[in-house]
Amino acid sequence: MPADELGGEYLPAPALPESYDSYDGMGASQMSHGGTSIEQYAIRMLYEEFRDRASRKIDDIIELRLDREPDLTKYLELGADVIFDRTLEKLGMLARRRPRVIIELLLVWRKTTIDATDEYPLEGAGLADGSRQQPPQAALSRAHHIIKERKSLASVYILCRALSAVVEQLEASHLEGDLGDRLEELVFGQVKQVNPANLRRSHNRRQIQELYARLIGQISDIRFASMSDRFIAELERIPMVSSGSDERIVVLLHNMRFLRLRVFPIDALEESSAFLLSCAKFYSRTSGSLRLKHAWATLLTELLMPMAAVVDVEVNLPELVQALDIIFAKAMKMAPKVRHVHVAFPLAAATLCISRRDVFHQRWLSLLEYCIQRLKDKQFRRVSMDAILRMLWVYLFRYPEASAVVTRRIDSLSRIFFPATKLHAWPKTVPPSAFVYFLVCAACYNFDFAMRQLLLNMLQTDSGWPGTTRELSEIGPILDSLNPARVGLAYQALVAIAAIASSRASLGAVGGGPGSGGDNGGGGSGPSTNTGSTGGGLASMHPPFPGVAQLSGLDYFSPDSAPKSSSNASGAGGCSSGLVATGGARKAEQDSTRSRDRQPSINPAMLPDRIRNALATAINVVQRYFGALNP
């Protein structure tokens, strides 16, 4: 493989068996895999369309200036070219009937693209000043070298997108036997052979590696056991003795984060548990290297969080229980140390959210105390708040205690989040949606309690409940003492509650008594019993679990941050929740602005009277307050 003068290597073309040579580049004219003539014609036409559009896109990239690396995502990512996106979608649809033919054609296209020896004109191509000062032959050679590497990277990017579109449409039966094995070997080979130094130097190589990782995740959704076994086997082969080994392991772990652990059916849960146990043992043996510890903790958090969103019963599978015990012990050992807080808190919380009821109640208070203490530290407020809200959701809606105990716990947390001695509603390092989410959880658990003890106090309105027109007309004298930030939080919380109630009512969920459970907007079911939810018709309502498939700093109520494993993550009328485990205060202000601007859909006719009255109270206070400010 030729070395790149810029410090990289050409990405190798896929190795193809000799039998693949029967494809002539046109596709179906020499197919030997069966199918009707209509199918063959459709495949041929679609392949030619794909080949022509892909070639034009590669040519456009090659013609860009040579003295700088172009950003391939700008030209090739989803949404950059709607027509090309539709071509890939059609390839995926056609692959449902002929998966082998489509996959092999894509591999042949990649190989023939790399093997092509076309000469590209260099007139007008922007060369670096240093290259112009070189002898003409050296400058020309370097230009051809850059073009060849650019063509290689662009073709790999397109191949990954095409394979992703195909695999997304396939089922397990489509990838049985040698086809699935070869596809796994091709994709995993590109992941395990990557040079970490090349990734550091090239943005495009990092993007391509990300595409391979996502493709691995898609394949694992239908071939989890074999794909996960490849990672475990590779980890066992890498010696743990050098910094170079650490770097290879970190890259490998980074590519594992898209593996999709499943909890249904039981066979899939057993496979996921066995894989988690192997990872837990690797994690427990990690010592010395800070980078390795953090890489393992981050990976395990991303693997466990989607599971926490969908597990609706206690899971007593021995392998899973053992894996969770090992992971929690290691995470709690790291938690007291400042340098580990940002990865230890999310991981410990994720393990507790999947644990059995008795284990959760035995351990969660110790982690809660750690998180409350770290709320005082500016750099750890966000990650601490995330962990608290994840555990609180499980405590309220999956493993609740007696009503009196739960309401005392909510009250104590509210005094921490909304201290009476401070004018500010929240620190700037925590987005307001975090506190809105807390209020929504409290109200969905016990609406009357949340209104009397939290929301009415924040609105500074009459403590009589439910509100009436007479009471609402008497709020004028207290406008001067209102805290506008807390009024905004209470208003947003009531809007979110109304959206959840409206959504559940449309599904026939509102009116179910305690213990009705129902589906939660985050993909997980509620508890089988809820002894504390005394809100009168609200027992089956709760916000989606604050889980996220990837830790990317998104807003608490961002639709884009809902777990991918959840099929119905918009339980709050489009106001789905997704907490981040890390990221600090990154884009907190922008997140809060988007949260305020986004209004969930509400059908007033579907709301229970108490929620309609509460929302009317909040609207009245807000209107009168801002009317007083702007007469």
- pLDDT band for position 315 (cuts 50, 70, 90): confident
Question: Is 545 in contact with 393 (CB distance < 8 Å)?
Answer: yes
Residue 551 has pLDDT above 60, yes or no: no
Question: Is 395 in contact with 441 (CB distance < 8 Å)?
Answer: no
CA-wise closest residue to 102 among 210, 173, 174: 174
Give the pLDDT of residue 53.
Answer: 96
Of 584 and 12, the one with more pLDDT: 12
Cα 590 to Cα 158: distance, rounded to the nearest angstrom? 33
Give the pLDDT of residue 625.
Answer: 65
Round the average pLDDT of the chain to a whole number and report it: 77
> pLDDT tens digits, residue range 70-108?
999 999 999 999 999 999 999 999 999 999 999 999 999
In the chain, how long is the greatest CA-to-CA distance? 90
> pLDDT tens digits, residue range 369-378?
999 999 989 8
Give the pLDDT of residue 48.
Answer: 94
Question: Is 457 in contact with 483 (CB distance < 8 Å)?
Answer: no
Percent of the chain whose pLDDT exceeds 70? 70
> pLDDT tens digits, residue range 246-297?
899 999 999 999 999 998 889 999 999 999 999 999 999 998 889 999 999 9
- Range in 104-118, 188-202, 324-338 with the lowest mean pLDDT: 104-118
- Range in 54-58, 159-163, 405-409, 587-591 with the lowest mean pLDDT: 587-591
Q: What is the mean pLDDT of residues 597-615?
A: 71
Task: Please enumerate in sequence order all residues whose Cβ is within 8 A of that of 39, keeping only pairs 6 or more positions apart, or say none.
Answer: 97, 98
Convert 387-437 into a string of H (helix), E (strand) and C (coil): HHHHHHHHHHHCCCCCHHHHHHHHHHHHHHHCCCCCCCCCCCCCCHHHHHH
What Cα–Cα distance (Å) separates residue 124 from each residue in 61, 62, 64, 143, 360?
A: 14, 12, 9, 12, 66
Extract the tokens encoding 590. 């922008």
Could you report how far apart the first and last alpha carbons of the chain are, in Å? 75
Extract the tokens encoding 364. 């969660």
Residue 349 has pLDDT above 80, yes or no: yes
Of 135 and 167, the one with more pLDDT: 167
- pLDDT band for position 424 (cuts 50, 70, 90): low
Residue 28 has pLDDT above 70, yes or no: no
Of 86 and 615, the one with more pLDDT: 86
Beta pairing partners, 9: 3
Cα 102 to chain centroid distance, Å, stands at 29
What Cα–Cα distance (Å) separates residue 271 from each residue in 181, 229, 233, 319, 410?
A: 18, 10, 15, 10, 38
Mark 450-485 as b/e (b = at least 16 C-beta within 10 Å). Answer: bbebbbbbbbbbbeebebeeebbeebeeebeebbee
What Cα–Cα distance (Å) separates residue 477 from each residue in 482, 487, 584, 621?
A: 10, 16, 40, 11
Residue 135 has pLDDT above 80, yes or no: no
Beta pairing partners, 544: none
Mark 41-71 as b/e (b = at least 16 C-beta within 10 Å). Answer: ebbbebbebbbebbeebbeebbeeebeebbe
* Cis geometry, peptide bond prior to residue 265 (ω within 30 degrees of 0): yes
Residue 127 has pLDDT above 70, yes or no: no
Of 86 and 597, the one with more pLDDT: 86
Residue 567 has pLDDT above 60, yes or no: no
Q: What is the mean pLDDT of residues 25-52?
A: 71
- pLDDT band for position 242 (cuts 50, 70, 90): low
Give the pLDDT of residue 533.
Answer: 46
Q: What is the mean pLDDT of residues 8-13?
A: 46
Give the pLDDT of residue 508.
Answer: 56
- Range in 74-83, 308-317, 500-509, 580-589 with the lowest mean pLDDT: 580-589
> pLDDT tens digits, residue range 448-459?
999 989 998 888
Residue 328 has pLDDT above 80, yes or no: yes
Percent of the chain whose pLDDT exceeds 90? 48
Give the pLDDT of residue 596.
Answer: 43
Residue 304 has pLDDT above 70, yes or no: yes
- pLDDT band for position 600 (cuts 50, 70, 90): low
Residue 243 has pLDDT above 80, yes or no: no
AA letter at 577: S
Cα 445 to Cα 394: distance, rounded to the nearest angstrom? 11
Tell whether pTM > 0.95. no
Residues for the chain: how many in total?
Answer: 631
> pLDDT tens digits, residue range 378-416?
899 999 999 999 999 999 999 999 999 999 999 999 999
What Cα–Cα distance (Å) separates residue 137 from each residue in 69, 120, 146?
A: 22, 15, 14
Task: Give SS3 for 519.
Answer: strand
